[in-house]
Amino acid sequence: MTTLPTSSPLLLPTPLGGTLVNRVGRPGHDFDPAELKGLPRLELSDRSSADLEMLATGAYSPLTGFLGEADYLSVIERLRLADGTPWSIPITLPVAREEAGLYTGRVVLTRGGEVVGTLDVQERYSARKSLEAREVYRTEDPAHPGVAALYAQGDVNLAGPVTLFEVPRGNFPRHHRTPLEVREVIEARGWRTSVAFQTRNPIHRAHEYLHKVTLELVDGLLLHPLVGQTKGDDVPAATRVKAYEVLLDSYYPQARTLLSVYPAAMRYAGPREAILHALSRRNYGVTHFIVGRDHAGVGSYYGTYEAQEIFGNFSGEELGIKILKFEHTFYCGACGQLVSPRTCPHGREHHLVLSGTRVREKLRAGEALPAEFTRPEVAEVLREAYAAQG
């Protein structure tokens, strides 16, 4: 198992820590599958399975596995790994305290009972759930989905380097690419600058506007919707990806756009998660990352601009990826175009703003979404998805 050199004629951004971690190794190549017999087995949750993939493919470089206690506390308390590298969310593997003693040495990781990888346990330590909730999620309210997940998980974290046997290609194999594979596309297309955009929401013209604004200045756009675990009331990933596909077919320059899924699970940690999202996109090889209002937020736990302001904790060099901070965007009838409060001088009476709730109501009622709000092709995908639910 090696780390891959990342030099390139295009000088893509170096991964965090300098090299792209690669902990993907197939049994029989990098080690003997017979070695796994008799080892303790640990069934992964949705989130831990996503974390395993993110770690092993280098999306979470420089991490090579689940965090040990020193890194865990350092990330929580000072937004950095113990060695000072920026990091915002502890990537941990929690197990129930009563089972923790089972896991020593090499542990076999399973998913639905299938072996997917291994963990070499180097540490076991107690999670500080209250501290973690307060610092990472900025609330101990169990109604917060990230806090709820934290409180529901085991009390002991296992730590150590992981191995993933095979990159899962999930539900979107055509759009599923590791950081190295995304880097290869960027190099092949010659994008000297590129911007990643993530949303867990369906794509509307307000998002398209951000993409187009950015594409006027940056060579390529990585549309990188998060398809890992989300809240039950978020629009399903399949519908969101389908909406991207039809939108790209009709309205985006093919050579400058890459749709690829981001397999991480949502934590809804707002500002802290915005940093994780940005650092991870640096590992995918992009130079810019879009952070809008209330990025990765939920409810009203975070201030509108906190997810933008938190980047002020780091120097540009430390981040290694440029943050593009955008305002709320919407259609203005007086301007006759998509705008934001930064560009439009007109009053609210000219603005077409629909809340997520209102959009869902319209879709449930089978009503059309205005073309200034959603491209007709996307509206049709959403309408069909709601009709199928109906």
CB nearer to a copy of itself: give 153 or 257: 257
User: Nearer to a copy of itself by C-beta: 268 or 289?
Assistant: 289
- Asked if residue 92 lies in contact with residue 52, where contact means CB atoms within 8 angstroms, the answer is no
Residue with tokens 């990472």: 136
Whichever of 173 and 347 has its CB closer to a copy of itself, that residue is 347
Backbone angles phi, psi at 333, to 5 degrees: -65, -35
Catalytic entry in 138, 200, 205, 293: 200
Q: Does 134 bind a copy of itself (CB under 8 A)?
A: no
Q: Which stretch binds a copy of itself (CB under 8 A): 14-22, 239-247, 250-258, 273-281?
A: 250-258
CA distance 230 to 145: 9
Task: Please report whether residue 253 would count as binding a copy of itself according to CB under 8 A.
Answer: yes
Copy the structure tokens of residue 205: 């013209």
Binding segment toward a copy of itself, per CB under 8 A, in 146-154, 269-277, 300-308, 340-348: 340-348
Strands 288-291 and 257-259: unpaired
The pairing of beta strand 156-164 with beta strand 123-126: antiparallel
Regarding 326 and contact with a copy of itself (CB under 8 A), the answer is yes
Helical ranges in the chain per DSSP H: 46-56, 69-78, 97-100, 129-132, 145-152, 179-189, 205-215, 237-251, 271-283, 306-309, 316-319, 356-364, 376-389
Distance of alpha carbon 62 from the chain centroid? 16
Q: Contact 13/179 with Cβ under 8 angstroms?
A: no
Catalytic annotation present for 22: no
Question: Does residue 254 interact with a copy of itself by CB under 8 A?
Answer: yes
Catalytic residue flag (residue 171): no
Binders of a copy of itself among 209-248, rule CB under 8 A? 210, 212-213, 215-217
CB of 342 to a copy of itself, least distance (A): 5
Judged by CB under 8 A, the residue of 155, 181, 187, 327 near a copy of itself is 327
Site for a copy of itself in 182-211 (CB under 8 A): 210
Comparing CB distances to a copy of itself, the nearer of 253 and 299 is: 253
Please give the angle made by the CA atoms of 36, 181 and 238, to the nearest 5 degrees.
Answer: 85
Exposure on the CB side of residue 296, measured as CA atoms within 13 A = 29
Cβ atoms of residues 209 and 338 within 8 Å: yes
Instruction: Work out which of 251, 309, 313, 318 binds a copy of itself, going by CB under 8 A.
Output: 251
The answer to whether 322 touches 289, Cβ cutoff 8 Å, is: yes
* Interface with a copy of itself (CB under 8 A), residue from 84, 142, 336, 366: 336
* 342 contributes a contact to a copy of itself by CB under 8 A: yes
**Applying CB under 8 A, does 289 fall inside the site for a copy of itself?**
no
Binding to a copy of itself, residues 87-106 (CB under 8 A): none
Cβ 253 to a copy of itself shortest distance, Å: 5
Tokens (6 digits) for 148: 């709820």
Q: Which of 343, 361, 364, 367 binds a copy of itself (CB under 8 A)?
A: 343
CB 195 within 8 A of CB 214: yes
Among 335, 354, 370, 386, binds a copy of itself (CB under 8 A): 335
CB of 269 to a copy of itself, least distance (A): 25
Which regions of 292-340 does DSSP assign to beta strands (E)?
322-325, 330-332, 337-339
Q: How far is the CB of 17 from a copy of itself (least distance, A)?
A: 25
- Least distance in Å: CB of 181 to a copy of itself? 24
339 binds a copy of itself (CB under 8 A): yes
Catalytic residue among 78, 111, 134, 201: 201
What helix, strand, coil percent values describe the chain, rounded to 5? Answer: 35, 20, 45
When the beta carbons of 155 and 327 are compared against a copy of itself, the nearer one is 327
Tokens representing residue 278 in the block: 């940005």
252 binds a copy of itself (CB under 8 A): yes
**Omega within 30 of 0 (cis) for the link into 225:** no
Point out which residues bind a copy of itself (CB under 8 A): 210, 212-213, 215-217, 250-254, 256, 324-327, 335-345, 371
Q: Which residues are catalytic?
A: 200-201
